[in-house]
Structure 1
Amino acid sequence: MTSLDPEIARLLKRDADGLVPAVVQQHDTGEVLMVGWMDDEALHRTLTSGRATYWSRSRQAYWVKGETSGHRQWVRGVRLDCDGDTLLVAVDQEGPACHTGDRTCFDGRELPVAAPAGSA
């Protein structure tokens, strides 16, 4: 059973599995590092421990970022978006954030974008 503050829990809009996406950002640069998933318990653990904790959809288990790799995320702040359906987690990242060994999960594949109509 979760110990998440009921006032915080009331604000969350979860998906059908009880999860909320968490966009993870380096606190001092704004660099987007990764996206994880949190349920009430993962958010509670994150808020109370200062360590980013997620729900693994593939393993069906909680995981603390860096627990096995040493690439820890020290939480500096957590914000809820205006709709209550996404979290923004500001962290101090130790080492790479991505499981591939890259600094960020968004280093790789940039998709082509057409120029907006009327732009020079």
Structure 2
Amino acid sequence: MKTILNIIWLVLSGFWLALGYALAGVICFVLIITIPFGIASFRIAGYALWPFGRTVVRDPQSGVMSAIGNVIWFIFAGLWLAIGHILSGIALCVTIIGIPLGIANFKMVPVSLFPLGARIVDSRTAL
């Protein structure tokens, strides 16, 4: 079932959201100091392409630098990517078949706002 949802997701919104994350990652790689943001952006781009069957787990040991980085990310990229998730989620929730996809979009908003200190793992190993 998750394969079918992932394929529908990829066609309807995953490709475009992943392009947004990839664009943010490329922009972050322009400056050396923002490379960690680019790595996080590319990691989330992969998650945006194929989200069903995977989940986000916060690392409690991430530290202060991660928190500072998340604030910087929120200001420059996270807010815009979260808006993209919210708008895409609303558009998908208009149809009955798109409701699970819209909910998945809404579940991706926290990681798009604060990606540093988050790991994307298989849902079965997240327990």
Q: Same fold (TM over 0.5)?
A: no
Query: Which structure is larger by alpha-carbon Rg, 1 or 2?
Result: 1
Query: Hey, which of these two has a bigger chunk of strand by percent?
Result: 1
TM-score if structure 2 supplies the norm length?
0.22
Query: Hey, which of these two has a bigger chunk of helix by percent?
Result: 2
The one of the two structures with greater contact order (alpha-carbon pairs below 8 A, sep at least 6) is 2
